[in-house]
Amino acid sequence: MHCDPRFARVREVFERQFADGEELGAGFAVHLDGELVVDLWDGLADRRTGRAWERDTPAFAYSCTKAITAAVLLRLAEQGLVDVSAPVADVWPEFAAGGKRSVTVAHLLSHQAGLPAIDDRVPVEEFEDHPAIAARLARQEPVWEPGTAHGYHALTYGFLIGEVVRRVSGKSVGDLVAAEIAGPLHLDLWVGAPDDVVARAARLKAADRPAPGTRPATPAAPAGRTPAAAGEGVPDLMAEMARAALDPGSLMNRALGNPGMHLLEGGANNPVILRAGWPAAGVVTTARGLAGFYRALIAGEILRPETLRDATRRRVDGPDRVLFVQSSFGLGFMRPSMMFPMPSATAFGHSGMGGSLGMGDPEHGLGIGYIMNRMSNTATGGLRALNLVQAVYDSLKSL
C-alpha cells in the first residue's frame, strides 16, 4: 500500500472503517495533479474462501459505469459522429416511435428522456443482447414529456446510450473503452470483464437488512448549501422514497430491477453480469483504475477540456422523478446534490449502488476511486466513501 504522508488522515479513516467492521474488502486511490498519492487496499475479496484483497483486485462498481459510458459517447461527438443536441432518431430511426421524435441525445445523458424503466420483463436470455433490450425501449412511450423533468435512468441509461454508440460507431461501449480509454491509458477498468478478470474479481456481499421500523438514511447536505437549505422538504421526500421502495410496482423498483440481476444465481457476482458490460452498471475496476480514469479526464487525455467543461455543466437540478431526493446531472456526470454529496462545488463523477464512487475535481486536481464488496443499504450508498473523500479535502487544507 502507498499513502503520501501528506494524506495520513486518509489512511487513518480507511483503517478505522475496517476496525469498526464497516468494510469487508475495499480499495481507495487518489491522484493529485497527476501523481498517485494514495493507493490503499485491505480485507477480503471473498469471505467464503478467505481470499485476500490484493493490489490488483477489481470489483463490480455498478453505476460508476455511467460516467465512463458518457465519456465514450462524448468522444464520438468530438469526432463528429453524433450531435448531442440532435434527436436520437437521427441516428436510431426506430426510436421515434411512441412520440419520442424530439428526444435528444442530451436528454438521454441527463436522465430527461422519460424512459427510466423497461415496460416488459427482460428475460435472462437477453442479458447480453444489448440491441434487443434497446429495441424494447425504442417501442415505448415516455413516462413524462421529455425535457420537462428528470428521473434517474438506473439501467435504461446504458442501453439507450449504448445503442446510440453502436449505431454511429458499429462498436459497443465496452469495445471502445478497451480500445480507446483503458487500453491506451493502462487502466484496470473493463465494461464487460474477460474471464481472467471475472475469476479474480471481489465477491460482493449483500447489504444487511435494516432493523424493523427504520427508514433510509437522509442524504448529506451537498456542497454550497447549508444543512437547513439542503434539508428543506427532505422528510417528505424520504417518506415518498420509503413508500416507493416497498411497492414492487413503483417506478423506482421497476427502474432499478429490470433487467433483474437477482434472477441469476449470485446476482451481480454471476459471471453473466460481470461479462455483460451493461453500459449503465457493468464496470469492473480497481480503485486505482477508477481514479486513473478521472485523472485522465481532468488532464484532457480522454476528452478535450472544453468538452468536459460543457459535459459537467448542470443540465438538471431538483427533485428526481424516480428517486425523489434532489439529484443533479450534466451530460452523464453527477454534480453535487443530495444524491451526490461532495465537499467541493467543482466535483463531478458518479456513485454506484452499494457505495462505490468515482470522482474528479479539476479545481483541486483530484481523481478519486473507491470500490468495496460490502454493500450498503442506505439511500446514498453509505458514508464510507464520503468519509474518505472528506479526509482527502481535509488533507488538502493542511498542505
Query: Which amino acids are annotated catalytic?
Result: 63
Which backbone phi and psi does 62 adopt, to 5 degrees?
Answer: 45, -125
Q: Where are the beta strands (DSSP E) in the chain?
A: 2-3, 25-32, 35-46, 51-52, 59-60, 189-191, 283-285, 316-319, 326-329, 348-351, 357-361, 366-372
Could you tell me if 77 and 83 are in contact, meaning their C-beta atoms sit under 8 angstroms apart? yes
| Dihedral sign (CA 158, 160, 161, 165) | positive
For the chain, the straight-line distance linking the first and the last C-alpha, in angstroms and rounded, comes to 22
**Residues ≥6 apart with Cβ < 8 Å to 49:** none
* Beta-carbon-side half-sphere exposure of residue 304 (alpha carbons within 13 Å): 9
Residue partners of 123: CB distance under 8 A and separation at least 6: none
> Phi and psi of 159, rounded to 5°?
-70, -30
